[in-house]
Structure 1
Amino acid sequence: MFLLRLQRLILQNFRNYTFLNEVFNTDLNIFVGKNAQGKTNLVEAIYLLGLGKSYRTNRDSELIKWGCDRALVNGMVIRNFGPISVEIRLDNSKKKEILLNEIPNKKIQELLGHINVVIFSPEDLELVKGSPAKRRDFLDREISQINTGYGHFINMYSRVVYQRNNLLREIPKNKKLIDSLNVWDLQLIDLGARLVKKRLEIIKKLGILSRLMHRKITNGQETLELKYISRFPVNETYSMEDIKEVYSRELSKLREKEIYRGITLLGPHRDDLGLFVNNTDIRVYGSQGQQRTTALALKLAELELMKSEVGEYPILLLDDVFSELDSTRRKFLMDVVKRVQTFVTLTSLEGLNISGIKQEYCIYRIEEGSIIRCDSYGRVKKYIEGYP
């Protein structure tokens, strides 16, 4: 089976890295170091190559090394149809520049789908019990990588909501503006229906895969079900026209309330992903163990969904999650890792069970923005025994 592989990563003045030029020869790459040494920064750089933005901050300036004006992240990836190079240039004085196969001035929408990545971090354990926004982001990030047009519609929809909210706040001051609301409603309904329709399709597929993963982790004792929760009634059987019709009808009922509050109250920007285990809403009533099992099942299902949609597995980024999982979940996760190129960050090798790893791997020690490869078994053994 062919794997999507990150072959080379180059960093210049990125976070705490002055310069890095590393070639990755194995599918399992393990980064070990104390906190605040640069492990997560490496993972963040790989994520940036895939989605064009950080998962830790919305401010690109925070990605540039302190005291520097610009930074660079460059990656060479091998896919089943050939190599792809992505370079992202960050500058404090201007907007970031994206180069795809050395062609500059690319938009994020053009980047999506070329280097697919799935990240699992301690923050993702909040996916279940966190806010609906976290689950919407999870869905939208997944869909954007397998359907490049989706990201474009997300941006258009967000602009419409922003403009419509501005108009709603102005209407109480000028009643004549209410006629303009009809124009924005049409755009909101058209774009919103597209997003809802695609989310329903993906949740159906993701639901099947996550249910299988969840049953394996729980030895068949629990059943996970995903549901799309909207403020207007829809389900996977609805056509686009059905969704638009219901959306339009329910939106009209809220007009006075929206004008009073000055915000758009209906649409995919307010929807949620329902998570039910044995018919219990575990977002509210699940134990911590159930919530973590569900988060893991969702992430592993995300891998399989990408494989089924694009024909190859994405790169998997595991950022300090092993310390948050018990031995059963760690073992299950490591079994899945065999199928994908994986980058793991750890503060300690304890609990990883190096001797039980069946595939080729490489361990790197991270210290103050420097990376040290531990190639030989002797060095690895010494490293394991000598590192606290």
Structure 2
Amino acid sequence: MYIENLALQNYRNYARAEITFSDGINILYGDNAQGKTNILEAIYLIGTTKSHRGSKDREIIRFDADESHIRAEIKKDGMHRRIDMHLKKGKSKGIAIDMVPIRRSSELLGTMNMVFFSPEDLSIIKNSPAERRNFMDMELCQLDKIYVSLLANYKKVLDQRNNLLRQISFDKSKMDMLPVWDDQLVKYGIEIIKKRNHFIDLINEIIPDIHSNLTSGKEHLCLVYEKNAEEESFASMLAEKQEMDLRYQTTQTGPHRDDIAFLIDGMDVRKFGSQGQQRTVALSLKLAEIELVKRLIQDNPILLLDDVMSELDRSRQDALLESIRGIQTILTCTGYDDFIKERLTIDKVYKVVAGTIQEELDG
């Protein structure tokens, strides 16, 4: 699987742009704040419906325009596919696959499988639980359309339950409605817990060997899925914490409070690991993500690397470069001369300047 072509119209700092990619290594280079990351964001957005930055559609549309368009042409399983995405301020995304509009954004997921790696990902181990939950959710949404529906329904029910908790604070008669939302929350929550648990099991089949290689066999890494509630006890925990929920007017129990622990020989790296250990674990996690996607879809994902090489030392760079062999990689950097050519076979080079893209044929 690889992306052949990307066209942008009124996207961030691009009035119009079109870029053709090789199925190998593609370099986008230029000074900071020129638009390199915007290209990666557009690819990720048209594959997942979400910005990796968490940006809203209105923030993505060029400042002097009311709407934006993205078109991607990909090759998958020997077939050419086209995806169009139309963004308009104040309206839902319009998406078409092979010129046929789809009714739900979730129908797009799985058409393109991508792994995005940025310098911010190197801090996922020490940052908030929300970022680690987002890592699970974004990968599962690409791999499992049922999970997409479960997560959307769970979030909807959670919002409704929290809203009801606030209403009860000044209208006690609405207490009778709480069990209805409790049942729905448990129904969807249990399925989410099951799928997250399976996902962590799959990662744990891959990540120990990767991390051992990165540390020359000195460290053994495993992930622990820290469930806020077990499947069988979710309903009872929700009931037990009802008084607390009413006091704080928010739901204290459920997978929206899950986390992942990273243990090196039993030590919790989130709390006690050095910065070097945390960054190595983060790299191990990304490399495991690439391998997991390859196994599950029986194809290579598209790899998006946003100026991450400059954040890694030589040995970690080598590990990442080894993992991208045979995978379409679109990589941003401030200068491709930073890369030693015998370590990286570059197929296409583009210079990005102030929302313009120029191919360098001798790159």
* TM-score when normalising by structure 1: 0.91
Q: Does 1:98 align with 2:95?
A: yes
- Read off the aligned partner of 1:54 and give its amino acid letter: S
Q: Output aligned runs, 1:265-344, within 5 Å.
A: 265-344=252-331
Match of 1:49 among 46, 50, 57: 46
Compute the displacement of 1:105 (Å).
Answer: 4.0
Q: Identity over aligned residues, as a percent?
A: 39
| Aligned mates of 2:13, 2:244 — CA distance in 1 | 49
- Read off the aligned partner of 1:366 and give its amino acid letter: V
Q: Does 1:126 align with 2:123?
A: yes
Change (3 A) 1:80 1:54: same
Q: Output aligned runs, 1:80-119, within 5 Å.
A: 80=77, 82-119=79-116
- Read off the aligned partner of 1:372 and give its amino acid letter: Q
> Do 1:75 and 1:87's aligned partners in 2 also have CA atoms closer than 8 Å?
yes
Which string of whole-angstrom CA distances, capped at 9 and with x for unpartnered residues, describes residues 242-285 of structure 1?
x2x31112221111111111111110001101111121111111
| Aligned mates of 1:106, 1:325 — CA distance in 2 | 42
| Aligned mates of 2:105, 2:314 — CA distance in 1 | 38
> Do 1:327 and 1:351's aligned partners in 2 also have CA atoms closer than 8 Å?
no
Q: What is the aligned partner in structure 2 of residue 201 from structure 1?
A: 198
| Aligned mates of 1:66, 1:54 — CA distance in 2 | 17
> Do 2:161 and 2:181's aligned partners in 1 also have CA atoms closer than 8 Å?
yes
Query: What is the number of equivalent residue pairs in this alignment?
Result: 363
| Aligned mates of 2:278, 2:353 — CA distance in 1 | 33
Compute the displacement of 1:311 (Å).
Answer: 1.1
Which string of whole-angstrom CA distances, capped at 9 and with x for unpartnered residues, describes residues 88-124 of structure 1?
1111253221111111244221010001111000111
Q: Does 1:185 align with 2:185?
A: no
Compute the displacement of 1:287 (Å).
Answer: 0.9
Q: What is the aligned partner in structure 1 of residue 209 from structure 2?
A: 212
Q: Partner of 1:221: helix, strand, or coil?
A: coil
| Aligned mates of 2:202, 2:54 — CA distance in 1 | 30
* TM-score when normalising by structure 2: 0.97
Q: Partner of 1:73: helix, strand, or coil?
A: strand
- Read off the aligned partner of 1:310 and give its amino acid letter: I
| Aligned mates of 2:91, 2:227 — CA distance in 1 | 39
> Do 1:116 and 1:314's aligned partners in 2 also have CA atoms closer than 8 Å?
yes
| Aligned mates of 1:59, 1:321 — CA distance in 2 | 24
Q: Which runs of 5+ in 2 are unaligned?
A: none
Compute the displacement of 1:58 (Å).
Answer: 3.0
Q: Partner of 2:305: helix, strand, or coil?
A: strand
> Do 1:26 and 1:360's aligned partners in 2 also have CA atoms closer than 8 Å?
no
Q: Output aligned runs, 1:367-382, within 5 Å.
A: 367-376=353-362, 380=363
Q: Partner of 2:336: helix, strand, or coil?
A: coil
Q: Output aligned runs, 1:138-287, within 5 Å.
A: 138-232=135-229, 234=230, 243=231, 245-287=232-274
